[in-house]
């Protein structure tokens, strides 16, 4: 975690030591709930016993199937969606609405998923974000405050712009490797096993656009998490973010339902 969280942890431990009497010692992994400032890179959950799956690059043809699978298991996830990477976001309205209604977190992965994100100007980055927010407003009536940058690019004007726009920037601390075209679902599973279940919860990078991830890896993750008493939650939940995943749930878009 960034220096911000380590500072909170130290402060909490010092306060505990200063007032130590008969009261129980606080779990050092359980940081007090507090506002999480925008414009910082977040890689890991703030508490143990949880894992926050972050699915990138949708919505896609398997989104509804994935949502149904997660719902059947009582699991939550975060969907980092784009506007036009795999067709138009408005072609997947039913799946988007079901994911949101089921309590999964909706977050931004930019409008076009540019490969030159870290070379873009503030104006260009803002346009990428605002176009997608307009779509979220049109479809769900929300405005998000979480994003994951394409290719995990955080250089150039990315972080200053995201900070000004109020976004909490998520990367990862566990890469499934499903994106490389080589790693199998079984190999991805081994990465989860090697990462383990102790300490603060993981924020893995997975993609809903690969059949093996949706139909092989995700069922395995659900079972593995249950065997290890890990709760699958949204990223906002795993961070104990008191402001929640959205700026507002009463946003109004321009009403245009086409890309």
Percent of the residues in the chain that have a pLDDT greater than 90, as a whole number: 86
Residues 4-49 pLDDT 10s: 333 333 334 333 333 333 333 334 344 456 789 999 999 999 999 9
207 catalytically annotated: yes
Contact in structure between 132 and 111 (CB atoms under 8 Å) = yes
**Segments of the chain assigned to CATH 3.20.20.370:** 35-248
The vertex-42 CA angle with 39 and 43, nearest 5°, equals: 155
pLDDT, position 33: 65
Which whole number is the average pLDDT over 216-223? Answer: 98
User: Is 81 within 8 Å of 90 (Cβ atoms)?
Assistant: no
Contact 212, 241 (CB under 8 A): no
120 pLDDT more than 60: yes
Active-site pick, 92, 104, 113, 207:
207
Tokens, residue 167: 């976004």
Which numeric CATH code is attached to 35-248? 3.20.20.370
How confident is the model at residue 32, as a pLDDT?
A: 58
The tokens of 69 are what?
């699978």
Q: CA-CA distance, 9 to 11, in Å (whole number)? A: 5
In the prediction, which pLDDT does 35 show? 85
pTM over 0.85: yes
């Amino acid at each position: 975690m960034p220096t911000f969280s380590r500072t909170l942890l130290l402060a909490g431990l010092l306060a505990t030591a200063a007032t130590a009497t008969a009261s129980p010692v606080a779990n050092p992994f359980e940081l007090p709930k507090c506002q999480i400032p925008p414009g910082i890179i977040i890689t890991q959950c703030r508490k143990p016993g949880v894992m926050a799956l972050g699915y990138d690059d949708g919505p896609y043809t398997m989104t509804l199937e994935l949502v149904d699978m997660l719902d059947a298991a009582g699991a939550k996830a975060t969907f980092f969606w784009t506007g036009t990477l795999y067709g138009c976001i408005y072609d997947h309205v039913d799946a988007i609405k079901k994911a949101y209604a089921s309590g999964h977190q909706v977050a931004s992965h930019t409008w076009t998923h540019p490969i030159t994100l870290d070379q873009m100007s503030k104006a260009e980055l803002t346009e990428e974000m605002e176009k997608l927010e307009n779509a979220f407003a049109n479809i769900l009536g929300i405005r998000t405050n979480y994003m994951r940058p394409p290719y995990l690019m955080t250089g150039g004007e990315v972080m200053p712009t995201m900070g000004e726009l109020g976004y909490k920037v998520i990367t990862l601390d566990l890469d499934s490797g499903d994106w490389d075209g080589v790693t199998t679902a079984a190999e991805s599973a081994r990465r989860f096993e090697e990462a383990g279940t102790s300490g603060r919860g993981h924020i893995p990078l997975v993609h809903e656009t690969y059949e093996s991830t949706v139909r092989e890896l995700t069922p395995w993750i659900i079972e593995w998490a249950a065997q290890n008493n890990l709760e699958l939650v949204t990223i906002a939940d795993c961070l104990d973010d008191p402001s929640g995943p959205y700026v507002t749930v009463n946003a109004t878009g321009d009403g245009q339902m086409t890309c």
